[in-house]
Homo-oligomer: A and B are copies of this chain.
Amino acid sequence: MKTLSIAAAAAVLAFSAGSAFSDPLPSWTAGAAKSAIVAFVDATTTPGGETYVDPAERIAVFDNDGTLWAEQPAYFQLAYAMDTAKAMVEADPGLANTNPSLKAAAEGDVDGLLADGHKGLLQVLAATHTGMTTDEFKQSVADWLASARHPTTGQRYDAMIYQPMLELLSYLRESGYKTYIVSGGGIDFIRVFSESVYGIPPEQVVGSSVKAEFELSGTGADTRKIPELFFYDDKEGKPVAINHHIGRRPVIAGGNSDGDHQMLQYATRGGRPGLAIIVHHTDADREWAYDRGSRIGGLDKALYEAEASGWVVVDMKTDWRTVFPFELQ
């Protein structure tokens, strides 16, 4: 009987370690942010409670740039556009004459691209993001991700994701939440790595997009990206896109900039439980420190509302033990 008891006790312990008593967020320090998140998830998933949320309604949406992965010194998709422009000019030097914006991009002349109302930048985005089929574009992004390296860390761009947010995504999914990305970045761009990197399948990615055209060719049938904006998924656009793609109001929303402000309002002002999470970039040593006044990821009005409304503000410096997964290697 003694052997059996030990086995039984071990089974109980093993079960506990795998569920209630294990820490689903090991990279988060025991602070107010972690406590608030765990308390909210418990409150919305414990049957019988007043704030219980039906599993079908458990929608959690997250911004990508600056919320799930880094966004400095500039949005990573911009690095893709600049690198691709450079490769295009190298492959066909004549392009430098016919498309001055591509030439500026190839030479890294960011100021030139941003002058005149971002006109040059839009031309570079058009040249590098349209004209090809969606599959061709995705292959190009996949190839770039495999070879490009971040200018300051030397890491792959898709390695510069936040370990604590990976844990949060997994924790939410284990708690019955369906996790979505809702990004100002390109929907086709993010879909290339969302599943392998975040465990978020392409159909749960919402983002900005250009129009596309259906095309029959030989035995094939494809969609081809054309240089015309379809939807800009930022600020007021985010709740609109969430309603369009998902058709349910999110229960949890996470962001890091004023571009996410309306999405956070949409999640918390629905007359039912709602949690808004802001990732605050406060760690100049391990990542970057910026908020108000930053050209990339500016956080101002949403931070005021967060403080006034009791939203969860994650202080990266104190709330996160680890920032990037590669720190653990």
Contact = CB atoms under 8 A, between A and B. Distances in A.
A213 B201 contact: no
Given A236-B213, A236-B214, A244-B209, A219 B187 contact: no
Given A187-B247, A209-B244, A223-B243, 18 more contacts: A56-B201, A59-B203, A178-B203, A191-B247, A202-B246, A203-B245, A203-B246, A203-B247, A205-B247, A212-B243, A212-B244, A214-B239, A216-B265, A216-B269, A220-B269, A221-B239, A223-B240, A245-B245
Interface string A122-150: 00000000000010000000000000000
Interface in A209-242: 209, 211-214, 216, 219-221, 223, 230, 236-237, 239-240
Contacts of A178: 203
A71 interface: no
A293 interface: no
Contacts of A221: 239, 262, 265-266, 268-270
11 contacts: A134-B243, A178-B203, A202-B247, A203-B247, A211-B240, A213-B240, A216-B269, A221-B239, A221-B266, A221-B268, A223-B239
A248 interface: yes
A271 interface: yes
A195 interface: yes
A188 interface: yes
A202 to B, nearest CB: 3
Contacts of A237: 214
Copies of this polypeptide in the complex: 2
Nearest to A265: B221
A132 B263 CA distance: 20
Interface in A161-189: 178, 187-188
B134 A187 contact: no
Interface string A256-278: 00000010011011110000000
Nearest to A205: B247
Contacts of A202: 246-248
Interface string A193-210: 001000001110100010
A269 B219 contact: yes
A214 B238 CA distance: 9
Contacts of A187: 244, 247
Nearest to A214: B236
